[in-house]
Structure formats: structure tokens, C-alpha cells
Structure 1
Amino acid sequence: MAGRFSRGLQVVDDSIDVFRDNPRLALLPFLSLLATGSAFLVVLGVALRYGVIESVLGNDLLRYAGIFVAISVSSSVGTFFNAAVVHCASRYFDGEETSVRDGLAAAWRVRRKIALWSVTAATLGTVLYIIDEKFGVFGSLARTLFDLAWGLLTFFIVPVIVLEDTASLRTLLRESGDAFRETWGESVSASLGISFVFLPVSLVGVAGLAWAYFLGSGVLTYVIGAVGFVVLVGSMVAAQVVGAVARTALYRYAANGEKLGPCVGRDPETVFPTK
């Protein structure tokens, strides 16, 4: 098991090398965080200004609508900028020049597929929330199991949106599921490896923010709080880029047998053999 996991970490390490060669890609997930955060802050500000928070929370229909909108916004924005990273990574693997502007243009070209995917994710997320709320522990269990299955099925949904010429939701899901089945070992291992690398860094940032908020005083509070915030955001941005790079390489291997970037010199299924 240790050897298999170490091979997954090698994929993460190779993906970090790609990120190191293209540091400007960090701007894309940063813009995603900025856009999503700004949108929710505006909505929260309006809600506080007009005092409608209690009304929304006390009305099932309004609450469900709010959840649907929140998931739609976060999913569409996150998918859009991840799609830009996937496009840039794919061009880099092909030895072509790429840029942030090029990635954003590519994401804009598939905006309809992104919208379709986001509405689907929001609808499903809202339904699962209702099931969880209405059916107690059984609803929570059903939601957890379905979330896991859905996460595996849609593991490669962004590369499929960007790299495949199809607008059918059924085809998008089938292509993503097929790719995960072909590379499930490396996919799981790489995801765990990314968490293993970046989660401790994120926790350092959270610890800095927590210390500044609860225990700090004076100028040192602002310094440590600012450093903690930068570390936290930086780790989130880096994890997004590295994850997108790894998934792009794995998807192209699963779809076309191409060994690119992190897949060069290794077969994805050898990390966790399926037989």
C-alpha cells in the first residue's frame, strides 16, 4: 500500500512541476475564489440591508431556492475557471503556448455546457438537501452515499466539458465515468496525494487566522492574521491548479492512451491494480 501511495504522490509531484512551469495559472482559481466570495458577500449584504434573512430561513420554498442559487453560482464560477486551467494544461502537454487569456477564452466557448452542468449539480444538490432534511438519519446516509457516487462519476467532468465536442449531459457523464473506471487507481491516489500535500499547509493558515482572531492583540495580530490568510488562499489556489493538471493528464490517458505530463513513464492502473 505504501508503494502504491508513493506512486500517487509522484503524480502529484509531476503536476506541481507543471504548475511551477506555468505559475500564471494560479490567477485562474484565485479569480474563481474572488468572484464567488464577492457574489456571496453582495447577496449577504443585500439580505442584511433589507432584513430578509429570517424570512428566507423560515420559509422552506425560499430556503430551497437560496440553496439552488448558491450551488449554481459556486458551481458555474468554479467550473468556468477550472475549465480554463484544463485548457491551458492540455495545450502545455502538447507543447503549445498558452496564457490565462487563452484559458478564459476557451472556458467562454464552452459556457453553455458549463451552465448545463451547473444547473444539474444545483438541482441534484438541492434535492439531496431536502432528502437529508426530511428523512433524518436515513436521509443523511442516502445523501452521503449518493454524494460519494456522484463525485466519482463526475471526477473528470471538467476535462470532458473542455476537451470533448459534445453538449449532451448524458454523454458528459458517461465519458467522465468511463475515464474514472479506466484510471480509478491513479485518480484516487492522486486526489489523496493532493490532500496529503496541501491540507497541512491550509491548516497552518487556519491556525494563524484562529490565533489572530481569538488570542492575538496589537500589530502582531494583523501580521499573523494576514500571513495566515495568504497561506490559506495560496494552498487552496495551488491545490486547484495541481488537481486540474493531474485530471487533465489522466483524462487524456483514459480517452486516448496518451501519456502526458504526470502520466509520462507510468501506467495509471499500476498505482492500484484492478486485478
Structure 2
Amino acid sequence: MGKFARSWALMKASASVLRSDKELMVFPLFSAMASLVVIGSFALPIILGAMHGQHFDQRRLEPIQYVLMGAFYLVQYTIIIFFNTALIGAAMIRLDGGNPTVADGFRIAWSRIGTILGYALIAATVGVFLRALQQRLGFIGRIVAGFLGLGWTVATFLVVPVLAHEGLGPFKALKRSVQLLRGTWGENLIGNVGLGVVFGLGTFAVMLCGAGLIVGASFTGSVTLIIAAIVALVIAMVLLGLVQAALHGIYSAALYRYSNGEEPGTGFDRQMLESAFRTK
């Protein structure tokens, strides 16, 4: 319970940084919009093929389909990593006491574009490998892939902060992330779980309220009120997702700074971090 309490304190500190720089939510917004375009671009040929009678069996993929999957992962990961690098780069400026702009975040991310592409290629390769493992080994493959995926997620948690702050190559950034997490892996896991639980409950509450509004509007028989209730629910869900993504970036930036032996920065109390991140 103590670890969860400390993680909650770190989340509140992250929220205080976000309140100072609400423009940090621009980066996950752009990331989501670009990701939707990519998903649509890759999904459209599949949809058109299905309309013309082509059968797509997800349980038995052909080599060309693995190639297309790898291309999709590569583009998608590049977009996500690029905007996360911009977010964390801007958050680093705020933690140093500066006042970052959206342009500052994009400048940092663009200066790392080569490394971002290299790391996206590694992540895409891992993604295709895990998917192939699931396909070839069935139920056991899904279990093994799940554990490997969890390990990969933990090991790479600080890769983007390393890319944003140190500018190392993709393989060196991976190695550096693992080195930094050796002393803080417990808080890393619990911090992520804490975020997931908090926003999971928040999502449930928003959906419950939204469903109530929609049902209430339906009783009035007004189409306008029903549409307004649906739009309000969608907007609330989008805002909740943007806040979660922004807080996740700020949290990882703070974790990186402490793991790297730096001052925690504006909004974070060093004593709180010292009690949270103990050497394992």
C-alpha cells in the first residue's frame, strides 16, 4: 500500500506539471490523429478486399501478410515514438524550470528522427515476432508472447526519455533503459498500474455518466439532446485519454531524471522521490 500511495503522490506531481503546461496534451492529440490515418490507410485495402470476396484468415498468415504487418508496425511506432519524444522533451524543459512550447517539443523530436526510426524498426520486429509466436504455438504461444511482451514493455519504459535527453542510438538507448530501471523497476510497474487503475475507474465513471445522459435524453424524445449527449461522452473520453497520455509522459520523464541521478525538477519533491525509488 505504501508503494501505491507514493505512486499516487507522483501522479499528483505529474498532474501539477500538466496544469502548468496544458499544451503538452497537443502531442498525444496529434499522435492519435496520425495513428488513425495510418490505421485507416492499412485497413482500407483489407476492407475493399473483403467487399470483393477476398478472405483474410488471421489464424494463418501468409509471409506477405507478415511483411505488411511489419510495415504497419514500423509506421505506427514511428509516429507514436516521435510524438512521445516531443512530449517528454518538452516535459524535461518544464522540469528544468523552463517554459516549453509545442515547437520546442517538435524540435527535440525532429533532431532525433534517425534514432526514432531505428528504434521503431526494432519495436516493429519484436511486434511481428511476438505475433508470429502467437500464431505458430497457439494457446501456449499466446502465454509466452504475453510474458515476453510484458518484459519488453518494462525494459523499454525509459527508452523514449533516453532518446529525448541523451540522443543515443536505438540499441544503446535500449541498454541504457535497462540499466536505469534496475533500481526502479518496482515503482515503474506500480506507477503504470496505478495510472491504469485510476484512469480505468475514471473511464468507467465517465461512461456511466454518459450512458445516463443518453438514456435521459432518449426519454425526452429529442434527437438533438441524444446527439448532444453522445458528443459530450465522446469529447469526455477523448480528453481523458489525452490527459492519461500526457501524465504518462511526464511520469516517465521524472522517473528517468531520478534514475539518472538528476534533480527531480519543478513540481516534484526530492524527498518523495527518494522514498519512492529505493535501490533494489
Map 1:109-258 → 2, pairs under 5 A: 109-167=111-169, 169-206=170-207, 218-258=223-263
Indicate if the aligned counterparts of 2:85 and 2:164 stay in contact, CA closer than 8 A. Answer: yes
Instruction: Summarize the alignment of residues 5-20 of structure 1 with structure 2, pairs less than 5 Å apart.
Output: 5-20=4-19
Structure 2 contact 155–177 (Cα < 8 Å) conserved: yes
Give 1:64's match in structure 2, choosing from 66, 76, 81: 66
TM-aligned CA deviation for residue 166 of structure 1: 1.7
Give, in angstroms, the shift of residue 246 of structure 1: 1.1
**98-107 vs 263-272, which moves further:** 263-272
1-structure distance, mates of 2:275, 2:55: 51
1:78 to 76, 80, 99: 80
**TM-score between both structures, scaled by the size of structure 1:** 0.88
Residue 28 of structure 1 corresponds to 27
Cα RMSD of the aligned pairs, angstroms, is 2.6
More displaced stretch, 228-237 vs 256-265: 256-265
Gap runs ≥5 in structure 2? none
CA distance in 1, matches of 2:75, 2:118: 12
TM-score, normalisation: structure 2: 0.87
* Contact 2:86–2:108 under 8 Å retained in 1: yes
CA–CA distance in structure 2, aligned partners of residues 130 and 43 of structure 1: 19
CA distance in 1, matches of 2:36, 2:190: 30
Between the aligned partners of 1:131 and 1:212, the Cα distance in structure 2 is: 44
> How far 1:261 moved relative to its partner?
4.0
Deviation at 1:212, TM superposition (A): 9.2
Q: Which runs of 5+ in 1 are unaligned?
A: none
Instruction: State the distance in 1 between where 2:216 and 2:135 align.
Output: 36
Q: What secondary structure does 1:191 align onto?
A: helix
